[in-house]
Structure 1
Amino acid sequence: MRIGELAERTGVPTRLLRYYEEQELLTPDRAANGYRDYAEALVNRVVQIRGLLDAGLPTKIIKQVLPCLDNPCTIHVTDATPDLIATLERERDQMDARISCLGRNRDAISAYLDAVRRG
């Protein structure tokens, strides 16, 4: 698919998709005319990248965890420094806290809707 279709399907502007490519987060094929050709699997990849960026991870860390996004991480990681590990643990813990908060908020909204519907 072309970059415009990927942008439309993911809600990510084409400018950011090009940036992801510059950061080596995406690797589209190139047609003979030089146009980018994005595989269907990259739709989910872009959504995952966007989610990690929204969670606060910088692109350099996302690039390192990319091999583990699609499948359970089966690669042998040799370049994980103690600083990277500490950063990822901190980010994971912050995500867990946000997930917990979102769950509580969802439950509160559901309880409110139930009360409203009961009248």
Structure 2
Amino acid sequence: MRIGELAKRSGVSIRSLRYYEEQNLLHPTRLPSGYRVYDESDVVLVQRIQALLAAGLSTRKLEHILPCMRQHDDGLVLSCGDLYDELVAERDELLARIDALSASVVALNNVIEASPRPITA
């Protein structure tokens, strides 16, 4: 399939697909005319890329993680053991940021609740 079809089927813009290729996440075949040709499996790969980006991982990290992800009966599994600790550390870092943001929300709520409400005309 061509890039437009992949964009439509995966729900991702053509610009994003080209970016994923630049970041070495997608590897389309090139026709002599220069057109990109994608496999059926690339639809799932692009959706996986989107999910991992939404989880806060960088494209640099995805370049190392994606080749190690395999579909299993119970879902996705890592086939490269050395990435497990890296993903656990990434998760823990995200959880720490969530805790810090939650504390900021509580502090802001306290300031808002302690402040008089402005009178509007």
Whether the TM-score (by the shorter chain) exceeds 0.5 is yes
The structure with more radius of gyration: 2
Say if 1:91 and 1:63 are closer, same or farther in 2 by CA, change over 3 A: farther
Say if 1:45 and 1:14 are closer, same or farther in 2 by CA, change over 3 A: same
What are the ranges of 5 or more consecutive residues in structure 1 without an aligned counterpart? 95-119
Aligned residues: 90
1:23-62 alignment, distance < 5 Å: 23-62=23-62
Aligned match of 1:73 in 69, 74, 78?
Answer: 78
* Aligned residue in 2 for 1:13: 13
**Structure with the larger strand share:** 2
The superposition leaves residues 47-95 of structure 1 with CA deviations (integer Å, 9 ceiling, x where unpaired) of 0000111111111111111123234433464xx6x7x45543426868x
Separation in structure 2 between the aligned mates of residue 9 and residue 16 of structure 1, nearest angstrom = 13
TM-score, scaled to structure 1: 0.64
Aligned Cα RMSD in Å?
2.4
CA contact (8 A) 2:69 2:79 kept: no
What are the ranges of 5 or more consecutive residues in structure 2 without an aligned counterpart? 72-76, 97-121
SS of residue paired to 1:49: helix
CA contact (8 A) 2:28 2:37 kept: yes
SS of residue paired to 1:24: coil
Counterpart code for 1:90: D
**Structure with the larger helix share:** 1
Aligned-pair identity (%): 44
Separation in structure 1 between the aligned mates of residue 87 and residue 41 of structure 2, nearest angstrom = 28
Separation in structure 1 between the aligned mates of residue 67 and residue 93 of structure 2, nearest angstrom = 18
Separation in structure 2 between the aligned mates of residue 23 and residue 30 of structure 1, nearest angstrom = 17
Separation in structure 1 between the aligned mates of residue 59 and residue 89 of structure 2, nearest angstrom = 13
